[in-house]
Amino acid sequence: VCEHSGQPQGTMANLDSSNAIVTQPLGHNEQGGRISNTPGDIIVGTPNDSPEHECTTGTTLSNVVSDVVVRAIEEGDAEFVGRLEMESFRSKYEWAVGKNRVEELATIRQNRYREICDKNCRVFIAEYKNNRAGMLIIKFHGYKAQGSSTCYFRERLGCSGACGYTMLLMCMESTDIDPADCYIDCICVDKEHRGKGIGNILMDRAEHEAKAMGCSKMTLYVAQNNRAVSLYQRQGYHIFEDADGCCCAWCAFGIRKWYGMSKMI
């Protein structure tokens, strides 16, 4: 979690600078909880890592990584997104459904991404030299959680797995988003592509999309023991809530202490 949480730990990657291509104009809208997702080794820019840059609406973000393209999700990306999500947040999903059901859950999550059609939920894919390398999910006011069937989950995951996954969705699929906010629901980078500044580019894309939607604030939630906390602070985020998920969050993720963080844009 910014956390998607249950985050693996790792080392902070280096950030490079150059040009990143954005394939749609800012604010472009395509199909693609209050608990969001970022692994512990997510790449986030610091004042010394990433020079100031501005967006030229429609195509290019200057002074960020070359050879990186950020585009809206397409149907063929669902398998990649589901796999990356499972690899990045495996401990969280294992807690929810059990180790022996994680692969089945990956299939469920892949299908879920194929069905996203809410204009207030946007999923972006980062490509590095034409290879898919990362993902970003942001949500805006008016987002409506996808419908789900506990009977379907029970058939695929068993009774206990269905209960765990349903609890997880209750925490993740928050629709209580302020009209001024852009909520970062999930951001992660494939382990083979870390160290290229891709996480930084995805964070930038989130802010540009938010501005295009008229938002004035970015928000996210992150586990208090996640090393990404200090990185978000360097990115300009401030803690606005010290949350104790003693019941729901603990049952859903196995993580009790969270920070709500925000940044004015």
> How many independent structural domains does the chain possess?
1
Q: Is residue 11 part of a domain?
A: no
Q: pLDDT tens digits for 196-224?
A: 889 889 999 999 999 999 999 999 999 89
Q: Is residue 161 part of a domain?
A: yes
Q: Contact, 231 vs 12, CB < 8 A?
A: yes
Q: Is residue 10 part of a domain?
A: no
Q: pLDDT tens digits for 108-166?
A: 888 888 877 788 999 999 999 999 999 999 999 998 876 667 788 888 888 888 888 87
pTM of the model: 0.73
Q: pLDDT tens digits for 88-100?
A: 888 888 888 888 8
Q: Which residue has the tokens 């994680």?
A: 102
> Which residues, other chains included, contact 99 with Cβ-Cβ below 8 Å and sequence gap of 6+?
none
Q: Is residue 176 part of a domain?
A: yes
Bridging pattern class, strands 217-223 and 181-189:
parallel
Q: Is residue 2 part of a domain?
A: no
pLDDT of 9 higher than 50: no
| Paired residues of 56 in beta bridges | 60
CATH code for position 93: 3.40.630.30
| Domain residue limits at 177 | 19-264
Q: Is residue 229 part of a domain?
A: yes
Q: Is residue 65 part of a domain?
A: yes
Q: Is residue 42 part of a domain?
A: yes
Give the C-alpha distances (Å, rounded to integers) separating 202 from 79, 112, 169, 244, 248. Answer: 20, 21, 24, 28, 29
